[in-house]
Amino acid sequence: MSAFTDHRKRVYQVGLHNQIVRECVKENRSHAMYDDRWADVQTHEVAAQTKTKALALIEKNYPSCDGFVVDHVKRHD
């Protein structure tokens, strides 16, 4: 079901980067797994009922234990 047809869900824009990749890029190295673009903030849209649930989905797909850091979360109206 699309977030745009399910009125119980909102769309959140989540900006995140990977701190490990950022450190690699500063040292002129590349991360073994993630592209150098992850040194910069990447924006993803997530459909969820709440901001907390949106962050849980982001954590599932972009785990903090792998170096991902959430920079901002905005509700997309």
pLDDT digits (tens, 9 = 90+) for 39-56: 999 999 999 999 999 999
Q: What's the pTM?
A: 0.84
Alpha-carbon gap, residue 6 to 29, rounded angstroms: 44
Domain boundaries, the chain: 10-75
pLDDT classification of 1: cutoffs 50, 70, 90: very low
Rg of the chain (C-alpha set): 14
28: left (phi over 0), alpha (psi -120 to 50) or beta: left
CB atoms within 10 A of CB 20: 18
Query: Please, are residues 30 and 24 in contact by the beta-carbon 8 Å criterion?
Result: yes
